[in-house]
Structure formats: C-alpha cells, structure tokens
Amino acid sequence: MTAPVRRAYVVRDATEDDLEAMVAVKLRGWADAYGPLIDPEILRPLLDLRQHLTRLGRLFHQRATLLLLAVERKQEVVLGFALTDMAHQPEPLLESLHVSAAVRGLGIGEVLMRATATRVAACGHTSMRLAVVESNRAARKFYERLGGELAGVEPHRWGTATVPSAIYRWPDIIALAELSFR
C-alpha cells in the first residue's frame, strides 16, 4: 500500500510578518490578471506596494477581518491568501483571493475557499459573497465551478475609473465548506 502524498503547503491564519509577501502575491496577480483587461493608465497607480501594504496592515488589525494564508510547509513561502470582511452586510465579503501564478492549478485557491467557508460558517454565517471584475473570465469560471451563483453586476471604483464587477454568492456556505474537490 502506498502512503498518501501530503500537501506541500498548509493553510493558517496570517500574521503581521506575512503582510509584505501577501501584497507581493496580490500585486503580481493583479498585473497578470488585470493587465490585459484594464487600461494601463487606470491600473498602474493601483499597483503601488506601499498603498497596498498600508491598507492590508489596517485591515489586518480590524477585528472583523479573516485573513487565511497558504504557505509552503518547509520554507513558509506565501503561496496564496484569502481576505474576508466578516462585518460586511448583508453577508461576509470575500474581498481578496490570490494565488501565486507559479502554483495555480494545484488546488490552493480551492482549499483557501473551503477553509474560508468553514471559518465563516463557524462564526454563525450561512452565506458569503464576492465581487470579481466582470471581464475576468478565468476567475468567474473558478467561482462558478465552486458553486458560486451570479447575483448581478455592479459598478466598482478602481482609482479614477468605474469597472463592472460580477457579484457571486454562496447562499449555503456549508455546501462550499464541505465541497469535495476533484
């Protein structure tokens, strides 16, 4: 009998020491994903490391922030993270989900989504939502595969521009938490 292969990463709560590495993953992801979708004049100012680090630091210290991290087991390298605003109304908002391009397709995003759903449910919530740039087809397919239901399209401010965002909901967060990924 062959021993099961153990994941090379773990999901844990983020610490303040992780913030800079998380911002680096986010900014690389934004540049890759949104570079082809959003006018460079709009996107460029939004890729400022200091602004993102300041904002993430502020969110990290807010009690209603759930910040989960996927890290490589041995080196503690940040592979991805999920940031959820638990106080958002009418339901928690998954504000950010980012996975390093080098490890996309290995199930890290799925595991982060499931871990987030588990923690959201443990806090007594029954649903969750997120917004994704409407033209980001790859992300939309990912969320739909995980059972996200399109709830509509809303305009969101991106610096000086308005960008349409698709709103996805999980009306039964337990279903996402228990989802068996193939």
* Domain 9-177 -> CATH class: alpha beta
Tokens for 82, please give them. 């999920």
Q: Indicate the SS3 state at residue 167.
A: strand
How is the chain split into domains, by residue range? 9-177
Per-residue model confidence as pLDDT tens digits over 80-123: 999 999 999 999 999 999 999 999 989 999 999 999 999 999 99
53 close to 25: Cβ distance less than 8 angstroms: no
Q: What pLDDT is recorded for position 178?
A: 87
Q: Are 60 and 67 in contact (CB under 8 A)?
A: yes
**Six-digit token string for 134:** 């409407």
pLDDT digits (tens, 9 = 90+) for 1-12: 444 445 789 999
Distance CA 95, CA 21 (A): 18
Specify burial of residue 168 (Cβ count, 10 A radius: 0-12, 13-18, 19+).
Answer: buried
The helix or strand, by DSSP H or E, that contains position 69, with its residue range, turns out to be strand 65-72
**Minimal CA–CA distance to 119: which of 173, 182, 179?**
173
Tens of pLDDT, residues 128-176: 999 999 999 999 999 999 999 999 999 999 888 898 999 999 999 999 9
pLDDT in tens, 33-65: 888 888 888 888 888 999 999 999 999 999 999
Neighbours of 65 (CB within 10 A): 17
Q: In whole angstroms, what is the distance from residue 69 CA to residue 13 CA?
A: 6
- Buried/exposed code over 110-127 (b: 16+ C-beta within 10 A; e: otherwise): bbbbbbbbbbbbeeeeeb
Percent of the chain with pLDDT over 90: 74
pTM: 0.90
